[in-house]
Structure 1
């Protein structure tokens, strides 16, 4: 292995050596503990230490790194206390996820590390967002993100590279090509000769580096990041290396030819670098012994701390209280000046007011800049706030959701517009697995609002008409808002943007230009989780939201003899279940109206809750009314048949007469 071509100071060489030795010794100890049943799983990075150590040493300590599960060297080089790592792997409370996740599935702002999730791709887009925040704040910082050769086949990889290239983001994409994705060799994963070729395809500077040569890794990365800080741009690095042990220890390596293991064994980065330092008289056997004794003592001392820590005692209230970051709502009351505007205008006004209030707020989405969005909600925003904060995006829903998360991690707020709520399916993974779970897992907020233009009645067909709120009300960690009136939309949007938790903000397209209301000109807020009682009566309770509110109002106007409580939920998570219970206890009957198809929707859960908690107050069965169990058709007559509106009046009368 050639070390002579790289000019590195002697003290740095020794630092790199010791930094490689430490994770190797920790791993050897972990493999013993795994066999003893004292940890449950291990993903080995033996033979790949030079990549983690070289990159981490080349970066500044305040630059973010997003490692994978074989990058123990990132964590040790950033000098995370070992007892916390050991506690993490044992599921102890002093670990970074308090027993809620395992392995390296965590992050820590203290050390500027953001760990991966098992769905590997999103972290690449998160790195884009972190780098974008640095760029917007004019901070000359680089963000490094790791992935394996297997994940380069994922769509998130390609989306993230494309976004980083288009936006000139200072992201170092580090691909560890270690030969196998679990048991699948690289020749069964991609056809190009080198993974680095994929970066070239996105107009990105790309390099191939010997991942087992610590001096080559450190030297080339150091040179690149120095320039990237001055000339922001993405760079892709393919590190040629090999995975000497199984994907995880239980997998073994029987599928790997022995001659391949032998060949790469001779390229061991630690053994070769040790021999080089000994030959150069930069290191002696005595110094090595001292290093090992020092590291072993650190391992033993910290293991003792972790082993002596008590096991976690489950606490239900603690678990439930830490799904969302605590948000102290502040009621902001406007003055009396109002104007009569449409729902779409109220949303636009609310966005504009928040952009003025929070100079760290960024709006992203397809066509949201000069074009103003397909619904013109952000029309004129570029002139007022600039293209840096009002950003057109490629058609990369998954990467943009992830980038929004990265902005949040790096101290900013993000509003992403899904051009249509239907398209959230293309960004579903980072929404439900990254945004929703980050605070519960390691205490990191997701200060992101995703705007969701939705709903039928406008002859837009199966792919532009869904009301898919039930996809998200099912996912702990997300908040779901669904206003029916301009006043509510503006105030709730303000609160959603202030709230550090991820919010799915549904906006019914059919109401955009048809519903007018007097709305305060000033900035104001409304609380999440508070339903609105639109009418009062004693015969029956009607619970609905979105377009259903207006269908119910039309029905009551047509049937003035019906005395009903009409509750507009406004937010579906948090849900104002107390208001529902109070009304049902008064009227004795409940009908729930939703535009979504019936099975598995929010109405089903409300019905079950009322049956479980208010059964003795009911004078009839709880009735649900939803749309047909079909995709939404395009033809106007078929769509009217599909929508729940056509069945609501008869169902209401039937329950009243029960």
Structure 2
């Protein structure tokens, strides 16, 4: 686009049947974020604000969209959408506190800028990995649809964010599921310093809507009347006919990506062109030409806003600096969960591990009407392992949902369901595939409660493990990826009874739970399991055999390998602990056992380096050193990817090495 500086006014306004009072309200709403930004830029130079992402020149999009939505409809903004917060009447002193890292901010000093959400104002902020918020918007909208509420959700991204896979995944799911979402793309010319011609080759981002079978529009993002009236019309249409809509707002970022970046990479004539298209200057000129806004009114608006800014800034400045309280920090990692111990009163039956898991899912669906199951092929097909077989007939396709192959957006949608008051389960077809959804788990689900008191009521089921001849991409046991991350709970049962009770608890727990299910145990392990509903607590290990010589600590399929070798060698004085719960971990049980036995061997199916076995070994060394009669031993799989051929897989797994190490430790 060649800049044309000959025209003084680059924006043509039409009243579109808006009254003078409505037009003045839009102007006042535009003016407020601009004046706040100008104040923040001064404070930034004074070192009183650490960082700032400017939306100067783009205010019409934030204000227009926020005005077009109802106050009880969620908006998911980005860094440059201050106008969303001000239009929703978020108290300025709390915003100032947020930016200063004060306790009265929305994240209690734990995050900065606009990285927060607030249920009170139905605003859900992004994380620095911008893509997941698109999937989260889908989940929020899905909850509205399932609850039969005529509401929509609006989510923002920039033109740079449309290159992320999450953008494709989210739009694809929204289209397939006909979700009431407005995807707002602020095409502001540059992704940091990279111009759009180096980011994509289509003429307009809105053109991509056709590929998703999705309605799309292009709107002048600097024209407040056009933004407000057109988005209002689209929003009302979506409320009556739920569907996703893609809107590309043409605008420009006139300041740096953040203030430290500067704008030296922007040609001077291009900058001047967009300065002439300033949304506030042009709208002010229009209102004055139409005799709607007088100079006195304009000055009055400015003075009132500036007074509000100064008053609220003074309030925020008087707040004490945030101080560290270890108890508070630790207590906010998870939402408080009061475990309810439910005992079985029914007869038991001899069933397989896979049957116990299927029972827990079905019984929890009955118990929790808001629980939605999502995963690849889990509906009519019943999942590749048939755990959800028959559930569509019982609960319907609204609650048992096949998903496209897009793990990241599905996990994002699960988070969105939780934000909008529902529960979600995501079945990974194989636990290995969670790598495609890793980011929203460790950066969104795990951190939201700590950051802004929003829990993630999500269970992710993880069929995992080797010894089934499935090769490098269907055999990993990757629990150590997640036990490291504060904010996640990790459960790994080895028996049908434990699996059913622990999975029921996972669905009751309002925090994110990764539930590992070893595929080799699905149909090979049987046990007497109560037919009715019951629960088991997290963080409690199971002592399968009492002994006094060596404490063997393990979990998952390795429990059965240990039982086999202990029985084969008639090692009656071995104490065998099945952890069952990896995060939280039953540290007391481990320490008590090792102090009694004096020797410890930690067995894992995972490769050793960086494994949970290494962490437990370190824990034992720190807590039991003076009680040890031998070095703490670890046994794990080979430091290679998991091979396919039976002979290679047998050598990879630690069964034989465990026997050798155990006998060595006994004789030490």
Please give the TM-score of this superposition, normalised by the length of structure 1: 1.00
- Give yes or no for contact 1:422–1:463 (8 Å, CA) kept in 2: yes
Q: What CA distance in whole angstroms lies between the structure 2 residues aligned with 1:445 and 1:484?
A: 28
1:221 aligns with 2:224: no
Say which SS state the counterpart of residue 43 (structure 2) adopts.
helix
> What residue in structure 1 maps to residue 621 of structure 2?
611
> What residue in structure 1 maps to residue 5 of structure 2?
none
Q: What CA distance in whole angstroms lies between the structure 1 residues aligned with 2:444 and 2:554?
A: 30
> What residue in structure 1 maps to residue 454 of structure 2?
444
Q: Which residues of 2 match residues 270-289 of structure 1 at below 5 A?
A: 270-289=280-299
One of 622, 643, 651 as aligned partner of 2:653: 643
1:83 aligns with 2:93: yes
> What residue in structure 2 maps to residue 171 of structure 1?
181
Say which SS state the counterpart of residue 604 (structure 2) adopts.
strand
> What residue in structure 2 maps to residue 125 of structure 1?
135
Q: What CA distance in whole angstroms lies between the structure 2 residues aligned with 1:269 and 1:237?
A: 18
Q: Which residues of 2 match residues 13-32 of structure 1 at below 5 A?
A: 13-32=23-42
1:336 Cα deviation from its structure 2 partner: 4.0
Q: What CA distance in whole angstroms lies between the structure 2 residues aligned with 1:5 and 1:410?
A: 36
Q: What CA distance in whole angstroms lies between the structure 2 residues aligned with 1:361 and 1:256?
A: 50
> What residue in structure 1 maps to residue 483 of structure 2?
473
1:416 Cα deviation from its structure 2 partner: 0.3
CA displacement 1:236-259 (0-9 Å, x = unmatched): 000000001000000000000000
> What residue in structure 2 maps to residue 71 of structure 1?
81
> What residue in structure 2 maps to residue 499 of structure 1?
509
Q: Which residues of 2 match residues 206-217 of structure 1 at below 5 A?
A: 206-217=216-227
> What residue in structure 2 maps to residue 334 of structure 1?
344
Q: What CA distance in whole angstroms lies between the structure 1 residues aligned with 2:334 and 2:388?
A: 29
1:9 Cα deviation from its structure 2 partner: 2.4
> What residue in structure 2 maps to residue 94 of structure 1?
104
> What residue in structure 2 maps to residue 368 of structure 1?
378
1:7 Cα deviation from its structure 2 partner: 2.6
1:289 Cα deviation from its structure 2 partner: 1.1
1:141 aligns with 2:151: yes
Q: What CA distance in whole angstroms lies between the structure 2 residues aligned with 1:372 and 1:511?
A: 19
Q: What CA distance in whole angstroms lies between the structure 2 residues aligned with 1:139 and 1:513?
A: 42
> What residue in structure 2 maps to residue 620 of structure 1?
630
Moved more, 202-211 or 552-561: 552-561
Q: What CA distance in whole angstroms lies between the structure 1 residues aligned with 2:496 and 2:201?
A: 53
1:561 Cα deviation from its structure 2 partner: 3.5
Q: What CA distance in whole angstroms lies between the structure 2 residues aligned with 1:387 and 1:331?
A: 31
One of 194, 206, 219 as aligned partner of 1:196: 206
1:197 Cα deviation from its structure 2 partner: 1.1
Q: What CA distance in whole angstroms lies between the structure 2 residues aligned with 1:433 and 1:242?
A: 29
Q: What CA distance in whole angstroms lies between the structure 2 residues aligned with 1:229 and 1:80?
A: 25
1:244 aligns with 2:254: yes
1:318 Cα deviation from its structure 2 partner: 1.2
Q: What CA distance in whole angstroms lies between the structure 2 residues aligned with 1:646 and 1:75?
A: 61
Please give the TM-score of this superposition, normalised by the length of structure 2: 0.98
One of 644, 647, 654 as aligned partner of 1:634: 644
> What residue in structure 2 maps to residue 45 of structure 1?
55
> What residue in structure 2 maps to residue 34 of structure 1?
44
Q: Which residues of 2 match residues 398-547 of structure 1 at below 5 A?
A: 398-547=408-557
Q: What CA distance in whole angstroms lies between the structure 2 residues aligned with 1:5 and 1:391?
A: 45
Note the aligned Cα RMSD (angstroms).
0.6
One of 601, 617, 632 as aligned partner of 2:611: 601
1:5 Cα deviation from its structure 2 partner: 6.2
Say which SS state the counterpart of residue 411 (structure 1) adopts.
coil
CA displacement 1:524-581 (0-9 Å, x = unmatched): 1000000001000000101000001101110111121441111100010000011000
Q: What CA distance in whole angstroms lies between the structure 1 residues aligned with 2:655 and 2:150?
A: 55
Q: What CA distance in whole angstroms lies between the structure 1 residues aligned with 2:208 and 2:509?
A: 39
1:257 aligns with 2:260: no
Moved more, 503-512 or 639-648: 639-648
> What residue in structure 2 maps to residue 308 of structure 1?
318
1:10 Cα deviation from its structure 2 partner: 2.1
One of 364, 374, 389 as aligned partner of 1:379: 389
> What residue in structure 2 maps to residue 355 of structure 1?
365
Give the aligned length.
658
Please, which runs of 5 or more residues in structure 2 have no aligned partner? Answer: 1-10
CA displacement 1:597-633 (0-9 Å, x = unmatched): 1110000000001101110011000000000000000
> What residue in structure 2 maps to residue 581 of structure 1?
591
CA displacement 1:361-420 (0-9 Å, x = unmatched): 000000000000000000000000000000000001000000000000000000000000
1:158 aligns with 2:176: no
Say which SS state the counterpart of residue 145 (structure 2) adopts.
helix
1:180 aligns with 2:190: yes
Say which SS state the counterpart of residue 644 (structure 2) adopts.
coil
Q: What CA distance in whole angstroms lies between the structure 1 residues aligned with 2:478 and 2:510?
A: 23
Say which SS state the counterpart of residue 140 (structure 1) adopts.
coil
Q: Which residues of 2 match residues 387-398 of structure 1 at below 5 A?
A: 387-398=397-408
Q: What CA distance in whole angstroms lies between the structure 1 residues aligned with 2:258 and 2:572?
A: 65
- Give yes or no for contact 1:350–1:493 (8 Å, CA) kept in 2: yes
- Give yes or no for contact 1:539–1:562 (8 Å, CA) kept in 2: no
> What residue in structure 1 maps to residue 570 of structure 2?
560
> What residue in structure 1 maps to residue 302 of structure 2?
292
CA displacement 1:181-225 (0-9 Å, x = unmatched): 000000000000001011221110000000000000001000001
